[in-house]
Structure 1
Amino acid sequence: MENRVVISTVGTSLLTNQINRSESKESTWFSQLSGVTNLKLDEIEKNHPEVVKILQELKNRAENKLKESNTQQIRRISAELNGIYGLYEEEIQRGKQDIHYLISTDTYSGKITAEIVENFLKTTGVVNTNIVKPSGLSTANTQKFSEGVDELIDFLSKQKENWQGYKVCFNLVGGFKTLQGYLNTIGMLYADEIIYIFEGKRAELITIPRLPIAVDKTLIKPYTVQLALMDTGALDKSEVEKIPEALIGDVDGKKVLSTWGKLIWDESKKDLLSDELLDFPWLDYQDIFRTDYKKIKDWREKVQLHETLAKVSYLLEESNGDTSPLKKDYNIKYDPYEGTDNIDHFRVTRALRISCKKMDNGKLSLRYYGSHAHVEGKEFKKK
């Protein structure tokens, strides 16, 4: 049987469904919960302390109901579990070897709900279950939502390489409709199938298989350098005028990758950053550096190198050629090579280095690339 990675969006209906609306004392609970939907625990404790007790009571009710209910009742109680049970044709033990991610909003209500679902799955033997809570993800405003989705896309992009041999399933039965809409589109690139539940008496599973679509990378290849720089920070409007508008967002008058731009970039950068060495502003490549680049066999190493070059280029542009920001960046760790003729170096990874020299025109001339032993050996051999 093929193993799966199951990504489930999580809402808060599991909590609100526990409200007994026929009880007069609970008649305002739903509106009270709606008022704190996008808040974290400290905000609720400060401004709505009575709601903390309500949430705890609803949490206890939900946990007890799940513990005491049969499969059909469980499916009615939780939209998220309804999708998961439907996926496994109600034999949830079939998911014991699978990987489950529960996508929660960065809110107290979302956290509670995701933890209830996580704990329930683990008690059924589905132990490889993890909550993913992108920082700031909520429906409070467009900016927070977009930033949260961007972080989620980044997470999915990094995890994708670990999913080789797994069937990736997006379970969008639960969760907020806004997030479901975005995940539906993201799933077209990341998922092998997307599942919903037909809202009828029989609660039938609807499976949407992966469509044969792919990003046309030729359309964005001419803008690879700008896109790589925007993946690092914001650019001026004049620098991105020819890039398709759908890929660009605006923050304080500067241009960044939009949510869709981030999605397209993450899907494309493997090809765009693993080909020829790209020319970035403020960087000059000596022939020996180009030779070292051509020796790289692993596409991942080329991508990581280009991402580092983009970051160095961006920081130099922001500082007008001043290397001080490079020295302050923990990952780059720009330092001089003591005992050399003004040769400096910086990190790509803990194991990989680039040696360089500041030129009279303000640019950095990149010299050698490779392991610490290779780069240092070449530079000190020249002494």
Structure 2
Amino acid sequence: MEMAESKNRLVLTTCGTSLLTNGVDQEVRARINQLANHTERDLSAQDKELLDQHIDERSRLLSGTKNLDEIRSLSAELNGLITYFGGDLKPSPGRPDAHILLTSDTYLGRRIGEIIDEWLQSRGFSVQVWSPGGLTTRDREDFRHAMADLVLRCEQTLPGYRESGYRIVFNLTGGFKSIQGFMQTLGMFHADEMFYIFETGSSLITIPRLPVSLETGDLIRKHEQIFRRLGLAEELPLEECRGLPEILLFDDGQKAILSEWGQLVWQRSKWSLYLERLLDPLPGLRYSSNFRKKVRGLNLSPDRLATLNERLDELSLRVRGKRENLKSLDFKQLKGNPKPPSTHECDVWSDDERRLFGHYENETFVIDDIERGLH
């Protein structure tokens, strides 16, 4: 197989239970499959003892095996990685390739993640283990919430690696079928390529990055405030969200939040919205004419404007008591009365001394000004 130039790679690997079930007798395999979706608190003392004994045996077997062909037969995940890396798995010179292991939020998932993490680190790789809360196949709603969290993690993590020169690769050889199916779709937006192997000994199947984009600009702009509030993880009355496609929402018949697909749409679209202009305030905020004039006069770059809009949206949650004070905001009351009518200030940009100043009028927080801090 022709490898992708000399770029460092970040490989996201979906993890299943193959390390515990490959090459074991049918009775042990059946019991592991029965317990695959259990968290630690779900396990009886007897079942946990049985699993721990088996996990420790398999961990010792993996760490004591030097033959890579034997390792490939032990773990579907490592089979995929070893095959993708040309029959061996060694860090490249200089900055090593990095790995993310995506495991289920179960006792077995977390233990398997620990074992593969340790094995990869022993070979010199940088490793993260992701276990989104609720990521099991036992409950459909928990699974979808975990997928929404996974979308957010990918959007917050993977672009930074790509900007640093990494090639993003999804290894979908292991893991549950439901997770693999979702990751194939997510990979169309994030991965430079995806790969998998049907079974040990078969050839590697690769899927290159496809030119996929989400054309949702009109939808986002039509329902701008709803998306901004949902994007902040605010729960809204379902009636307020009626104009959005059902696939973008989780709802209980009364309240709604963004679904995994809603998160994908919002995360892919929000910056193009945030960097256009000073957006109208969300509930709980009002902008003074002086503040609007000051923003126009600053002639902010698109990235600065996007951050300002993001901070203002976060502030709307803070002043309504729906979120704790974020470090990025540092929302606090002014000492004395140095800048009337303003009574509070908060940060905007981490590398700039300018702050937002404002005051409460009943339940509304009025943004009075944006200028350098008072100290």
- TM-score normalised by the shorter chain: which range applies? 0.7 to 0.9
User: Which AA in structure 1 matches 2:155?
Assistant: S
User: Which AA in structure 2 matches 1:15?
Assistant: L
Higher deviation after alignment, 306-315 or 327-336: 327-336
Q: How does 1:201-216 map to 2 (within 5 A)?
A: 202-216=201-215
State the secondary structure of the residue aligned to 2:36: coil
Change beyond 3 A, Cα 1:99–1:236: same
How far the C-alpha of 1:327 sits from its partner, in A, is 9.2
User: Which AA in structure 1 matches 2:131?
Assistant: K
- The answer on 1:183 being equivalent to 2:183 is yes
Q: How does 1:158-177 map to 2 (within 5 A)?
A: 158-163=156-161, 164=163, 165-177=165-177
Find the partner of 1:51 among 43, 47, 50. 47
State the secondary structure of the residue aligned to 1:175: coil
Could you tell me how far apart the structure 2 residues matched to 1:365 and 1:297 are?
Answer: 21
- The answer on 1:89 being equivalent to 2:92 is no
Q: TM-score, normalised by structure 2?
A: 0.85
How far the C-alpha of 1:212 sits from its partner, in A, is 0.7
Higher deviation after alignment, 293-302 or 107-116: 293-302
How far the C-alpha of 1:301 sits from its partner, in A, is 4.2
Structure 2 gap ranges (5+): 1-5
| Residue deviations 1:263-322 (CA, integer Å, cap 9, x gap) | 111111121111111112342222332244443745454334323333443566xxxxxx
How far the C-alpha of 1:36 sits from its partner, in A, is 2.8
State whether residues 330 and 347 of structure 2, in contact with CA within 8 Å, keep that contact through their aligned partners in structure 1.
no
Higher deviation after alignment, 351-360 or 259-268: 351-360
Partner residue in 2 for 1:319: none
State whether residues 249 and 256 of structure 2, in contact with CA within 8 Å, keep that contact through their aligned partners in structure 1.
yes
Could you tell me how far apart the structure 2 residues matched to 1:327 and 1:174 are?
Answer: 38
Partner residue in 2 for 1:39: 38
Change beyond 3 A, Cα 1:183–1:288: same
Change beyond 3 A, Cα 1:277–1:89: same
User: Which AA in structure 1 matches 2:274?
Assistant: L
Change beyond 3 A, Cα 1:5–1:375: same
Runs (4+) of structure 1 exceeding 6 A deviation are none
Q: TM-score, normalised by structure 1?
A: 0.84
Partner residue in 1 for 2:57: 61
Q: Aligned-pair RMSD on alpha carbons? A: 2.6
Higher deviation after alignment, 250-259 or 87-96: 87-96
User: Which AA in structure 2 matches 1:43?
Assistant: D
Find the partner of 1:73 among 65, 70, 74. 70
Structure 1 gap ranges (5+): 22-26, 317-322, 378-383
Partner residue in 1 for 2:268: 267
User: Which AA in structure 2 matches 1:52?
Assistant: K
Change beyond 3 A, Cα 1:12–1:303: farther
Change beyond 3 A, Cα 1:128–1:328: closer
State whether residues 332 and 346 of structure 2, in contact with CA within 8 Å, keep that contact through their aligned partners in structure 1.
no
Matched-pair identity in %: 28
